[in-house]
Amino acid sequence: MRNTLILLVGMLLVGPSVCGQFKENPILNIENKDKKILNYGYFLGFNQYDFKFDYKNDVGKDILVEKTLGFNVGLIGELRINEFLDLRFEPGLHYNARTLFFPGFIGEEAISGNFLREVKSTYINFPLLLKVSAKRFGNWKPFLIGGPSMSLNLGSNETSLDDNSSGTFRMKKWNYNYELGFGIDFYLEYFKFTPSIRGVFTLNDELVRDNDPNSPWTGNIDALRTRGLFINFTFE
């Protein structure tokens, strides 16, 4: 609820200025902004992470994921290639929590809470992205963006000697991803404001398996990969 209120307040504050950029013949703001070789800025936003599971055997009972809303914050460095292409580096901090519900636990095992694991993740993300823009229309410009990224999961528990039998869900520390998204640059009077939406897709298997190969938590998992959605608000 708190994050939703912050988002609404931000939209109310910026909304009138943004809507004014769609006028038929607006006064052009910061006309030379994109002509610089290097541009800098920062972003704030929200995320929602999920997991994609591949199973060794189809037993008809999937692991369920309860998703929550997390937050993003980071910096932007942009290298201009030409009028329509920019190379961007966007290191950022992404925090999120997910709860996993494992099937097959009954009786006392279910009552004790063994059927669920809370996975709190703090990622430091390092994306290198190519931004492909359309021609500027007055004071706004749409674009597509995508490229590879690496993320360091500070809450991975990869080196922990405990596993799920002791209540510890373990994941790999380093992950390799690709990101795809789109957005619109709005040229306001003093700065450029950009709302964007982006998906992130992990390529490697992130799971560190339990010591017991027949573990009820990880024994049937062939691969676990993160899927995420980012909504960012950029200021340059």
pLDDT tens digits, residue range 93-124? 999 999 999 887 766 666 567 888 999 999 99
Helix, coil or strand: residue 10: helix
Between CA 27 and CA 1 the distance in angstroms is 38
pTM, entire model: 0.82
CATH numeric code, 2-235: 2.40.160.20
Q: Does residue 17 surpass a pLDDT of 70?
A: no
Between CA 54 and CA 57 the distance in angstroms is 9
What integer pLDDT is reported at residue 171 of this predicted model? 96
